[in-house]
Structure 1
Amino acid sequence: MRLPGLLMLVGFLGWASWATAHEFWLHPSRYRVSPGTLVYVRRLVGQQLTGSPWSGTSQRLARLVQYAPNDTVDLTAVATLADTLRTTLELNESGTHMLCLDTNETALSLSAADFNAYLKEEGLESILLVRQKRKQLDKPARETYRRCAKTLVQVGGTLAGPFNAQAGQDLEFIADQNPYAARPGSLLTVQLREKGQPIRGQLVQAWVKSQTPAQAPAQLQRLYTSPEGRVLIRLPTQPAEILVSAVRMHPHPHPDQADWQSTWATLTFGVNQPYKR
């Protein structure tokens, strides 16, 4: 099977609970490649841009879409043909490509102490305040969560492409500038939208992992969105991978099923990297 823009799909996904991993992100084997290159996209869970494979079934996949400079390919049906898959992309069209992956909801229960610590760490103080007002700080919590992940891959030297496309994810990051056109050490503006609307005052975490040296720990930028839902991310001067993440939580629309519903969003891209085949 050959698909325009993205020509091979041979892989997919899995999941780990909050207790063992916070973030879920897409990690291409290469962020900047020449046309015709095969790129293996890993699905990772973990923290600080150090993760392990998310190995699960295709039943967790709600949507998988690839946005090429002149085409959009919905890969969901192909991705769900088997229980477990792997994702390899053959990128032939020069320009910036975007891959978006959404999961469906899954449920978990956390003890009061674990849930309160989780809320503090992820900047969800408003939910903590609600629990306090309801005298629930000593109560366990039932939560459903879903994931919305994006990654940007640069193919060839043409910078045209849907790097800033609104994919319609429940929670998504949109880059105002193409990171592959940005100067080393410059600022990149990224907007966070929930159901298409900008979110103000939201904690956004930007992890920057330098590739020189390869074992250098990721550096964290903790940012809060402006009234227009934007944050400014300082790009490094050396080759690096960047992971931008945020989580939103609301009372669950069906209280008989869970107490809370959370949505997690990530965006990954590389900067200052040479082309590879």
Structure 2
Amino acid sequence: MKLFQLVLAGLLLKAPAVLGHEFWIDPQQFQIAPGDPLLADLRNGETFKGTSLAWFENRFTRFETVLGDTVQPVPGRAGDTPALQATAPETEGLLVILHETAPSRLTYKEWEKFLKFAKHKDFPNAAADHVAAGWPQEGFRESYTRHAKALVAVGSGAGADRAFGLATEFVALTNPYGAEFDGSMRVKVLYQGTPRADAQVEVFDRAPDGRVDVRLTRTDAAGEAAISVAPGHSYLLDAVVLRPSAEAGTAERAPVWETLWAALTFSVPD
């Protein structure tokens, strides 16, 4: 049975393009007491619904929890589901979960699917750049990586998020668990440590009854966005970078595009 579970988990992990677009860290509880179990799924899917992906060391380049100045690698065994199975620190504060995946690839068999993706994620020049580069419009490949964070309150949840050097990332400028939180979640979007001005942010808003609303917003000139949030709701923020692959033209099957997906999950206490 264990072997079957490992094989099944491996197959699921290799199929993110089929299962959906977004990738996020999904804590089973966003508010926990010091010393309580800390459990979180890695999910791949759409509209806040997705398959739980297992822990496999060769599938990520970084998987850590951070509280204050204490950084802990997330331990695991191949096939562990949920992927994060740990114990919360004995210290209260804002705990940040970090995860960066190893590169994966997908193939666009149809030009229209790439155009649909580019429109959805707001890359208006992608099609023209693709044609200008002389790349094929069928059977071309994309490399992609995921750069996810989640905010969990341990006890009071007091504290602040910060930049952790992910290739692209959200940085929470306000703490949704803080006593002074006013219902406006302010975030900054970074790419290679630099703020992304006028970047599209997709907001997935999950109500207590499971209903999910989706809306779009944009960052300002400083790379910041303010998002109105509601008590009792959970949120997934998504922002994508599209850039030409450094491997383009190096081999027949080399990817021509690369995408980097930033995600942030958190909840707002009742």
Do they superpose with TM above 0.5? yes
Contact between 1:16 and 1:45, CA under 8 Å: does it hold in 2?
Answer: no
1:187 aligns with 2:184: yes
CA distance in 1 between partners of 2:70 and 2:16 (Å): 35
**Cα deviation digits, residues 31-70 of structure 1 (max 9, x gap):** 0112121021011111111112124732111111211124
1:84 aligns with 2:79: yes
User: Which residue in the other structure is 1:243 paired with?
Assistant: 236
Contact between 2:38 and 2:85, CA under 8 Å: does it hold in 1?
Answer: yes
CA distance in 2 between partners of 1:174 and 1:158 (Å): 16
How many positions carry a matched residue from both structures?
Answer: 252
Unpaired segments of 5 or more residues in structure 2? 1-9
1:253 aligns with 2:250: no
User: Which residue in the other structure is 1:224 paired with?
Assistant: 218
User: Which residue in the other structure is 1:204 paired with?
Assistant: 201
* Structure 1 SS opposite 2:190: strand
- For the structure 1 residues 158 and 49, does the alpha-carbon distance in structure 2 shift closer, same or farther, using more than 3 Å as the test? closer
CA distance in 2 between partners of 1:265 and 1:179 (Å): 19
Higher relative contact order (CA 8 A, sep 6+): 1
Deviates more, 1:31-40 or 1:177-186: 177-186
* Structure 2 SS opposite 1:96: strand
Letter of the aligned partner of 2:239 in structure 1?
A
User: Which residue in the other structure is 1:152 paired with?
Assistant: 151
1:99 aligns with 2:97: yes
- For the structure 1 residues 125 and 183, does the alpha-carbon distance in structure 2 shift closer, same or farther, using more than 3 Å as the test? farther
- For the structure 1 residues 116 and 19, does the alpha-carbon distance in structure 2 shift closer, same or farther, using more than 3 Å as the test? farther
* Structure 1 SS opposite 2:17: coil
CA distance in 1 between partners of 2:235 and 2:55 (Å): 25
CA distance in 2 between partners of 1:243 and 1:48 (Å): 9
Displacement of 1:272 after TM fit? 1.7
User: Which residue in the other structure is 2:3 paired with?
Assistant: none
CA distance in 2 between partners of 1:72 and 1:56 (Å): 19
Cα RMSD after superposing both structures: 2.2
CA distance in 2 between partners of 1:64 and 1:56 (Å): 10
Map 1:1-277 to 2 at 5 A. Answer: 14=13, 16-55=15-54, 57-75=56-74, 78-79=75-76, 82-85=77-80, 86-91=83-88, 92-111=90-109, 112-134=111-133, 138-160=137-159, 163-181=160-178, 186-211=183-208, 214-215=209-210, 217-236=211-230, 238-255=231-248, 256=250, 257-273=254-270
- For the structure 1 residues 117 and 43, does the alpha-carbon distance in structure 2 shift closer, same or farther, using more than 3 Å as the test? same
* Structure 2 SS opposite 1:180: coil
User: Which residue in the other structure is 1:8 paired with?
Assistant: none
* Structure 2 SS opposite 1:201: coil
* Structure 1 SS opposite 2:177: helix
Displacement of 1:137 after TM fit? 7.8
CA distance in 2 between partners of 1:241 and 1:203 (Å): 20
Unpaired segments of 5 or more residues in structure 1? 1-11
CA distance in 2 between partners of 1:20 and 1:87 (Å): 21
Displacement of 1:84 after TM fit? 2.5
Displacement of 1:131 after TM fit? 2.4
Identity %: 21
Letter of the aligned partner of 1:105 in structure 2?
P
* Structure 1 SS opposite 2:119: helix
**Cα deviation digits, residues 182-220 of structure 1 (max 9, x gap):** 667721111000010001121110111111xx23x2112
Contact between 1:115 and 1:140, CA under 8 Å: does it hold in 2?
Answer: no
* Structure 2 SS opposite 1:88: strand
User: Which residue in the other structure is 2:4 paired with?
Assistant: none
